[in-house]
Chains A and B, each alone.
Chain A
Amino acid sequence: QQPVQSPQAVILREGEDAVINCSSSKALYSVHWYRQKHGEAPVFLMILLKGGEQKGHEKISASFNEKKQQSSLYLTASQLSYSGTYFCGTHTGFQKLVFGTGTRLLVSP
């Protein structure tokens, strides 16, 4: 079943912060985060493994709560280049990912 992301869309001013959530109904081995700019292919940002770890990429970080089967992506001091659609991908033990519903982020000057 497809993970649910919230919010569906968010508009930020440059420099503001945002949180994107990803929730699954299944037990997770890992959570992946991708960003897709308009008209382009998704780009891998980071992967979080079991153990509640947090990782970072530029000023983007994420957490993974395996008990709650949830992950959150934190964007701090957003830049114009952060605009795009963010997808989480959940790994349930097979050689494939199930991607979430997506969150559209627009950062304006």
Chain B
Amino acid sequence: SQTIHQWPATLVQPVGSPLSLECTVEGTSNPNLYWYRQAAGRGLQLLFYSVGIGQISSEVPQNLSASRPQDRQFILSSKKLLLSDSGFYLCAWSSGLRGKGEQYFGPGTRLTVT
């Protein structure tokens, strides 16, 4: 069966500090991978998605970036965090063209920028 991991689970960082969040998927190959952000009490905002190694599509202009160095690894980064970057960061995967697009989410990282 497939499993998706995210770490860390919680993070408190000062404004201007760097960020690196990691997501890995087990039990599948060539997944589509996604990063979402959810502000408190709000909906899911798609930040990046990737259909393959090194292929990243950005959905919103901001100070975040994403990379996919390996097939089942997806990393979200920032060089300098802003207060507005606080939120619940969720990684998700789907089976790409083999599936119907249903997405499965990791447990999330709760980021507080102080």
By a beta-carbon cutoff of 8 Å, the part of chain A in contact with chain B is: 2, 30, 32, 40-44, 47, 49, 87, 89, 91, 95-102
Contact = CB atoms under 8 A, between A and B. Distances in A.
A72 B96 CA distance: 25
Contacts of B96: 95
Interface of B: 32, 34, 42-44, 46, 49, 51, 57, 59, 90, 94, 96, 100-108
B102 A95 contact: no
B107 to A, nearest CB: 6
B101 A42 contact: no
A100 B34 CA distance: 17
Nearest to A48: B100
Contacts of B46: 96-99
B43 A101 contact: yes
A64 B7 CA distance: 36
